[in-house]
Chain A
Amino acid sequence: MRDDGRAVAEAEATSEPAPEPGATDADGEPFSPQALPERQPIDRTGEPLLSIENVKQVIDGNVILKDISFNIWPGEIFGIMGMSGSGKTTLLRLLIGLDKPDEGSVRFKDEDITQLDEDGLNRVRKSMGMCFQYSALFDSMTVAENVAFVQRNRRDVSEEEKRERVAELLEMVEMSGNEDRMPADLSGGMRKRVSIARALMEEPELVLYDEPSSGLDPVMACNITGLIKKVSTDTGSTAVLVSHDVPNLLGICDRMMMLHNKTVQLIGTPEEMRESDIPVVHRFIHGLGTGEMTEHCSADAEVMDSVG
């Protein structure tokens, strides 16, 4: 399905499961529920920030993606979901130029990045940030050094300004006071937060998140996705998330895309996703299995429906 770019009403859903009072997060910190920031409607009448046209990707002779086309507008939070092995991460890597597609174009601010050499890609990547599934923090550097890494050679920014920016970002992701700790000493959730701070150091227009809530407990997963929404709303940056975490995606995304069978099944708001009668989308959104041994999943689906 092609994304026709029509304006859609802002799709604010409040599907995050509220933690129990007095609960603590994965790091043992008291959880203090905070209302997520109000998002402004996304203007989809102008030029898209990212435009993907007829992308096809083949790896080792296997077609991973085909006929992938969609647009993402500035300021949008865009979720990409799909089953394991559906090519979500492959697609994310194409968006930042880590891999080149076999066919099609990936246009960032109307420039086809598939035609750029590594120097050209490095120029474009200065407007992008990426958070990896396992955070990919540099394990020989402290938290502060990781966050400041991208500015290490900048002479136009003083050391004091760099320190202030690092402190500001660590405060934003609620990691103040951890500047001198090493990544090995951090929990999974803390690493994710540091990687978000690192991705935001150069104030990117586009931030890509690969499975931001994978490997985290539900409370921490909710905190991280809430943080992504807060960051995108506060900074005005565009966010693209790849995840299987349907409840959290439904809760923070302006629009979502379902990948299945190597191609796009549906692009729409969280409401449109919930109400879709496309079988694969319906099953994925409602957590329904396939086959005879999946009766227990329908009970989960009811719970999920009542939550979201």
Chain B
Amino acid sequence: MQSAIAVLGAQVLRGLAYFGELSELHLRTLVHLTRGNIEYRPTVEQMSSVGVSSLPIVAVTMLFSGMVFSYHVADQAMLLGATGYVGWAVAETMARELGPALTAIVVAARAGSAMAAELGTMKVTEQIDALRTMATDPVKYLVVPRYIAGMAMVPLLALIGDVIGVAGGFVMANATIDMTANAYFGSIPGNLEIWTVAAGVIKGLFFGIIIAIIGCHQGLYTEKASEEVGRATTRSVVYCIMLIYAANLALTVLLFP
């Protein structure tokens, strides 16, 4: 019994220490941002890596998600005689939940893991120490560009994902219940509120921050052993997914009271 409590206590302490490290890294990143300490070249490179390079996989994911969702909705709408709302239902769901959440998961798997692997490798090969010996703060040079890239590109990808998902939904609605473009897209403008889209973008912004901070933290705190880079990469994806879903719940309650 005592040992079980000790194990539980140790886990709690480890968890608290982890969130403490995340908070410290986030704070140091914000300090650099507020001071305007931004390295422009790596920032542009990271925006390309997080944004442009993730676009194909985000597009594919959202296209098929939109198609599957539309397939179910169209089926139910036929039963209820509400086929006029299929387009709006798909768009509303994409903008509120599927767009930001699925985009964030995909970016976490692709770009968040790359952040952890790249920084972890730099740590193991002493490149992070080399940065410090050259009077360069690794947080400024490595974390701030990834933070900006995550914060800017995940909402943008979510918006693009929304559009692709809705388009995919139309393809499916057209194929299954022979819905016309006018009927499908015509139901969106009057029903989908701007706030719903904006809330999805806000969610994407927070998810981007989570991906960047967790990915960078896992990389910077990698132990100096090659196999640790693999573990840090896996952990970054797992922690990102868990935190994204937890944050999604909190943000949904806050943004849609």
Binding site for B on A (CB under 8 A): 93, 96, 98, 118, 121-123, 125-126, 128-130, 132-134, 136-139, 149-150, 152-153, 198
Contacts and interface: CB of A to CB of B under 8 A. Distances in A.
B180 interface: no
B135 A122 contact: yes
B135 A138 contact: no
A126 B39 CA distance: 19
Contacts of A121: 132
Nearest to B137: A118
A267 B192 CA distance: 79
Interface string B191-219: 00000000000000000000000000000
Nearest to A130: B133
Contacts of A129: 133
Contact of B129 (A136, A139, A153): A136
18 contacts: A96-B133, A98-B129, A98-B133, A118-B137, A122-B137, A125-B133, A129-B133, A130-B130, A130-B133, A132-B126, A132-B130, A133-B126, A134-B126, A136-B127, A138-B127, A139-B127, A149-B134, A150-B134
B125 interface: yes
Interface string B130-145: 1011111100000000
A59 to B, nearest CB: 12
B129 A150 contact: no
Interface string B100-137: 00000000000000000000001001110110111111
Nearest to A119: B137
B133 A128 contact: yes
A150 B127 CA distance: 13
A132 B135 contact: no
Given A122-B135, A134-B126, A136-B130, 20 more contacts: A93-B129, A98-B133, A122-B136, A122-B137, A123-B135, A125-B132, A125-B134, A126-B135, A128-B133, A129-B133, A134-B125, A136-B125, A136-B126, A137-B130, A138-B122, A138-B130, A139-B125, A139-B127, A150-B135, A198-B134
Given A134-B125, A136-B125, A125 B130 contact: no
Contacts of A122: 135-137
